[in-house]
Amino acid sequence: MKFLPPATQTTPLHAVAVEDLAALLDALPGRWAAWLRATGFSGRAGERQLVPDDAGEISCAFVGLGSAEQRRRKRMAIAEAAQGLPAGNYHLENTLEGAALDEAALALLLTGYHFDRYRTVTEERPRFAAPAGVDAARLEAIAAGEALTRDLINTPANDMGPQELAEAAARLAEDHDAAIEVVEGDALLSRDLPMIHTVGRAAARAPRLIDLRWGDSGPTLTLVGKGVIFDTGGLNLKPGGSMALMKKDMGGAATVLGLAQMIMALGLEVKLRVLIPAVENAVGGDAFRPGDILTSRKGLTVEINNTDAEGRLVLADALALADEEAPDQIVSFATLTGAARAAVGADIAPFYTTDARMAEALPQAGALVGDPVWQMPFHDPYEAMIEPGIADLDNAPAGGFAGSITAALFLRRFVETAPYTHFDIYGWQPTPAPARPKGGVGQGARALLQALPAVLSS
């Protein structure tokens, strides 16, 4: 997704808020104002109106931004109307500024996203020039990262196994002159990554640990993404309805790869490492069992009380590996718990952090860039819930309460030397929304990208 080349001939696109409509009508050429009045254009969110010229061609277009209340409830509101425009080239007649302009420009870019890989017929869609006053290259890099995340999540598991996920990371590394290493199959045992191996060993497709590095100066940032490419639940088999969306269980891996794309394309001064345990949680004769006790890379033992709580197991080994280098920040993304969805719904990315700077910066950044996040607590009194007695840790505490918090506390046990932030994301847009069609979606990545300079420089 890119903006149109600067010399492209375009049709003017006017974005109008309800409260600005009267003044705009007074300022417009008389025939345009008369047309808008005659057609009842009100500026409500999602509304669009085309104005013809004498030959019946489109002379300009108007889209509604809605009222202040509508904009508060619906971010990227301009996309709701713009994505329904006829195919053609448009430029925004700029009445917006600052963060509102950046959001509108990114929303216009993201209207170009459609997952067409499995469609035999595609259609022409509107395209947009970069509005004056925006950093077009930055927005294009962000849109490209978001598109990568969406594509990876939307691809079904038959075409997105551990190998294909590693290949996607390798293409990204090649594009940005990054180094990459992939540890596969039984080699995971010799490299002391036992829980990644155990979770993935029953699948026909071998588990992997993807390790990407980029940058040779600046603070050190390690991103860890859950790459469970499909989750049957293992021997604690999910019911069919709960398995339907499990191609998205690698949404954490997709998110960190999309974020890495943004960081590398923008040339941020940071030493970046990306770690992805890529596995399939399958049913087979070699599957791990309820009641098994596993020994992690860190040496902590884990009692398996539910094989469907596998994401925290593979993340634990990857986090322990990350922590051994004591980076300036470790951040994990994972589609980890249904409890997080019960707490904040599908639209918000809850996060946990041990770093006061991150706790302050992330909500501010998320609000600024339209990527909502919400801090959840590492509530120390719940530590006892993840200690079963027979082993150091329990991967699925009984009781059903505070499931997202106990999962986060479990992961925190594997990070000792670095500030740690964990996102428990959904990675899926259940119904279409402006600039976010139904399907895979990035969550928390743009907020973190915006927050990083403040966090890493302090």
Residues taking part in catalysis? 238, 312
The dihedral sign for the CA sequence 433, 169, 253, 326: negative
Render the burial of 63-84: b for 16+ CB within 10 Å, e for the rest: bbbbbeebbeebbbbbbbbbbe
C-alpha–C-alpha distance, residues 114 and 427, integer Å: 16
Contact assessment for residue 415 and residue 325, using Cβ atoms and an 8 Å cutoff: no
DSSP string, 31-62: HHHHHHHHHT----TT-EEEEE-TTSSEEEEE
Residue 117 makes CB contacts below 8 A (sequence gap 6+) with 151, 154, 155
Token readout for 183 is 């540890």
**Between helices 403-412 and 311-323, what is the axis angle to 10°?**
30
| Residues shown for the chain | 458
- How many helices, marked H, and strands, marked E, lie in the chain? 16, 19
Q: State the Rg of the chain over Cα.
A: 24
Burial of 117 (0-12, 13-18, 19+ CB in 10 A): exposed
* Cβ atoms within 10 Å of 375's Cβ, excluding its own: 15
Phi and psi dihedrals of 257, rounded to 5? -70, -40
